[in-house]
Amino acid sequence: MSDLVPLTGEPLALDLVNTRPATGDLLATPDGLRDWWTLQAARLPDEVPQEIGAEDLAAVRAVREHTARALDHVRRGDEPPAADLLALNQAQRAAPAISELGWTGSAVAVVRRRDGSPGLRLAACLAEAAAALLVDPAVATIRACEADDCVMLFLPTHPRRRWCSAARCGNRMRVARHYQRHKAGEPQRSRDR
């Protein structure tokens, strides 16, 4: 993932879309995908595989792009492109979730699993998360970060939240505002010395 730090903690589909910050693509390489997958491991059913190939990366990136476009429309109350919805449905069909029954020795247990390559399984899981977000009424409250150079999206937990991260963009914007307010007075003080 290079030196870029991903924004995490939003709904999984938003975290996926947010792997495209203004400063670069966190999923540019299979290693970047592995790093992001590791950060999200507690939220995903499969373990992070040792080997992630180019086709795995392509499947996840395709889900990300279709999710981003559909989300952009739906959060504004517009109809999403049919091609994006179709692609998200196809990603889910490529590795459908199966509820497998098994005996634990004392009771029947259900384990959800998917067949296919690691990338197809991850892409299907992410497409499922995108579907859940797209139909959630909260999708209309998703906001873009108000920082000048930030493209991150977030689901506000507080109605006055303005930035994707108070520590990341919030502090930067507050410092910039402070600097702008005090910039005019600074040259005069330096001339008085």
With a pLDDT cut of 70, the percent of the chain lying above it is 84
Domain limits at 94? 12-161
Answer whether residue 114 is part of any domain: yes
Residue 193 counted as domain residue: no
> Is 168 part of a structural domain of the chain?
no
pLDDT in tens, 126-160: 999 999 999 999 999 999 888 877 888 988 888 78
Query: Could you tell me if residue 3 is inside a domain?
Result: no
Residue 170 domain-assigned (yes or no)? no
> Is residue 57 assigned to a domain?
yes
* Domain count across the chain: 1
Q: Over the stretch 76-94, which tens digit does the pLDDT of each residue have?
A: 999 999 999 999 999 999 9
Q: Up-side HSE of residue 152: CA atoms within 13 Å toward CB?
A: 29
Find the CATH number of the domain harbouring 40: 1.10.3300.10
Answer whether residue 75 is part of any domain: yes
pTM: 0.82
| 30, part of any domain | yes
